[in-house]
Structure 1
Amino acid sequence: MSSYNFAGKHVLVIGGTSGIGRAVVEHAAAQGARVTAAARNTGSADLPTGVAIEHVDLTSTSSVESLFERIGAFDHLVLSAGPGAMGGIRELSSEQVRPFMDIKFWGYYEAVRAAADRIAKDGSITLVGGAASRKHAPGRPMMAAINAALEAFGKANAIDLAPIRVNVIAPGLVDTPAYAGMPEEIREGMLRGYAASVPAGRAGLPSDVATAATFLMGNTFITGTVLDVDGGVHVS
């Protein structure tokens, strides 16, 4: 973990009950923050003591606005929600991929818009995107498009929302519960293949991305950047 002390700070993590978002919740809480974890599915969340849990549906403008009205003042927002749209253009119609854009782009848009006039002026917004924005692979055109859009959106808002800081994290392959539904041998093969292809020699862990998120929240001289947390996939 980074050495930043978040005592007295309120961190809101949307997508905070599982995977990368959950790791961000745990790291921020361990560093003294008051943390609110918001997600569509909150029933099975087992989070650190003191973490508040709120429901939000990123596909609903009214649900997003209601969340920000309920939580009150806050200092940092981390957005880590939305599955990847796997499949090539021959396999996926626009109707099939539109829900992925609705969550991971338009949902983020709604959250940033709702946060803009409520977040502390010395606070930060961190969007979790993905390495697919610039490291292309078969069957991922929509993952590339959505994550590239988030990177441009983050950089533009670092200007429009200043002095609020806005950054994007672009993780590579991270071993999260999102892959739990895959047959075990396929999941393990995917992780091994990634490990063999990158200089770091392993797939990512949620804690790798969470450490980056707390770093971006705590370092007040970083804004408008895309931080690659990918084991070196862009140089492999």
Structure 2
Amino acid sequence: MNAVSTLSGRHVVVVGGTSGIGLAVAEHAAAAGARVTVAARTLDLAPAALPAGVTAEHVDLTSTASVEALFDRVGTIDHLVLSVGPGAMGTVRDLSSADARPFMDIKFWGYYDAVRAAADRMAKDGSITLIGGGASRKHAPGRPVMAAINAAIEAFGKANAIDLAPVRVNVIAPGLVDTPAYAGLPDEMRQGMLAGYAASVPAGRAGIPEDVASAALFLMTNTYVTGTVIDVDGGVQVS
């Protein structure tokens, strides 16, 4: 087996693939010749946003039944990428467990259900890539829930690299990436946030979705990489 494989004709499923990082992954995989299925809770903008030939499916990661139904529909999978979940902001003084739990339900337990449902449908030379976040190890005020969720995803990915082998399982931990997740912020606040991050990291800029997408394609095609966490963060972990 070659150390680097092709995506041509392979089936790539991207959960959270209709915007931001997930959409960039879907676009890159389609451009590399993959057959791509994206899944998301909201598909209103999908036909306009997706490359030609990419199939869109509905899924609600807070519902185990919805996740299982998705994987029943999509059939066999070569590569699975999970890229969903809002960031949970607030200290333990601000967020009750009832307020914090939905974030874990979506991003950790949603990922758990997806990996569980996909496990027996994966090609033996396939891969699962979990998009986590740099907050797992680079701590900042008001992010204990975000840190805990992303740390759990990293441990979950490493453990499944053993349990699901030879399927490869990896995690990408992005830093700040300019995505539609921040579209609700006033423009001045959003630009200030991006500029502040750029000034604080060695790369001198905030990320864009394509930065993470290229890392995801690397993990799909390099058959010697498994059980790892790749930081795509401009160097925030060392700053």
The TM tier, using the shorter chain, reads over 0.9
Aligned to 1:59: 62
One-letter code of the match for 1:8?
G
Which contiguous aligned blocks of 4+ residues in structure 1 show a shift greater than 6 angstroms? Answer: none
Deviation readout 1:104-162 (Å, 9 max, x if unpaired): 00000000000111111110000000000000000100000000000000000000000
Aligned to 2:132: 129
3-state SS in 2 of match to 1:116: helix
Check the 8 A contact 2:128/2:168 in 1, yes or no. Answer: yes
Instruction: Give identity over the alignment, percent.
Output: 77
Q: Tell me how far apart the structure 2 counterparts of residues 206 and 44 of structure 1 sit (CA, whole Å).
A: 18
Q: Tell me how far apart the structure 1 counterparts of residues 181 and 130 of structure 2 sit (CA, whole Å).
A: 18
One-letter code of the match for 2:212?
V
Check the 8 A contact 1:4/1:31 in 2, yes or no. Answer: no
Matches within 5 A, 1:41-120: 41-45=42-46, 46-120=49-123
TM-score by length of 1: 0.98
Aligned to 1:233: 236
Matches within 5 A, 1:187-226: 187-226=190-229
Aligned to 2:171: 168
Deviation at 1:7? 0.9
Q: Tell me how far apart the structure 2 counterparts of residues 160 and 74 of structure 1 sit (CA, whole Å).
A: 18
Deviation at 1:5? 3.3
3-state SS in 2 of match to 1:16: coil
Deviation readout 1:10-31 (Å, 9 max, x if unpaired): 0000000000000000000000
Aligned to 2:9: 8
Check the 8 A contact 2:5/2:223 in 1, yes or no. Answer: no
Check the 8 A contact 1:126/1:216 in 2, yes or no. Answer: yes
Deviation at 1:4? 6.0
Aligned to 2:24: 23
The two structures, once aligned, show a CA RMSD in angstroms of 0.9
Deviation at 1:178? 0.1
Q: Tell me how far apart the structure 1 counterparts of residues 97 and 62 of structure 2 sit (CA, whole Å).
A: 17
User: How many residues are matched?
Assistant: 234
Cα distance change of structure 1 residues 4 and 121 upon mapping to structure 2, 3 Å threshold: closer
Deviates more, 1:13-22 or 1:3-12: 3-12
Q: Tell me how far apart the structure 1 counterparts of residues 124 and 63 of structure 2 sit (CA, whole Å).
A: 26
Check the 8 A contact 1:125/1:165 in 2, yes or no. Answer: yes
Aligned to 1:159: 162
3-state SS in 1 of match to 2:227: coil
Check the 8 A contact 1:4/1:215 in 2, yes or no. Answer: no
Q: Tell me how far apart the structure 1 counterparts of residues 100 and 182 of structure 2 sit (CA, whole Å).
A: 19
One-letter code of the match for 1:200?
A
Q: Tell me how far apart the structure 2 counterparts of residues 35 and 4 of structure 1 sit (CA, whole Å).
A: 17
Q: Tell me how far apart the structure 1 counterparts of residues 88 and 5 of structure 2 sit (CA, whole Å).
A: 35
Q: Tell me how far apart the structure 1 counterparts of residues 6 and 234 of structure 2 sit (CA, whole Å).
A: 27
Q: Tell me how far apart the structure 1 counterparts of residues 76 and 91 of structure 2 sit (CA, whole Å).
A: 42
One-letter code of the match for 1:81?
V
Check the 8 A contact 2:59/2:66 in 1, yes or no. Answer: yes
- Residue from 146, 150, 156 that aligns with 1:143: 146
Check the 8 A contact 1:85/1:143 in 2, yes or no. Answer: yes
The answer to whether structure 1 residue 184 and structure 2 residue 167 are counterparts is: no
Q: Tell me how far apart the structure 1 counterparts of residues 5 and 21 of structure 2 sit (CA, whole Å).
A: 19
Q: Tell me how far apart the structure 2 counterparts of residues 111 and 136 of structure 1 sit (CA, whole Å).
A: 27
Aligned to 2:34: 33
